[in-house]
Structure 1
Amino acid sequence: QCFKLLRSSFYISLLLQWTHILNMLDYTQEAW
């Protein structure tokens, strides 16, 4: 159970980082 929670939190943090990177890429494309 604890491992499951840890894995889900890891995926959530990874997803947040990925969306943040995509937002940064969109921002740089608009800047260009």
Structure 2
Amino acid sequence: MFLKLIKKCHEKGIRVVLDYSFNHTGKDFGLLTM
């Protein structure tokens, strides 16, 4: 579903920027342990 949204945005010339603050996560957070 998220990728569909991104694709639709790109089709309309809209750029998408993802911003995430890693300062508020612990060392065992899932995205950081991949």
Shorter-chain TM range is: 0.3 to 0.5
Ranked by relative contact order (alpha carbons within 8 Å, sequence separation 6 or more), the top structure is 2
Q: Larger helix proportion, structure 1 or 2? A: 1
TM-score w.r.t. the length of structure 2 is 0.38
The alignment's TM-score, normalised by the length of structure 1, stands at: 0.40
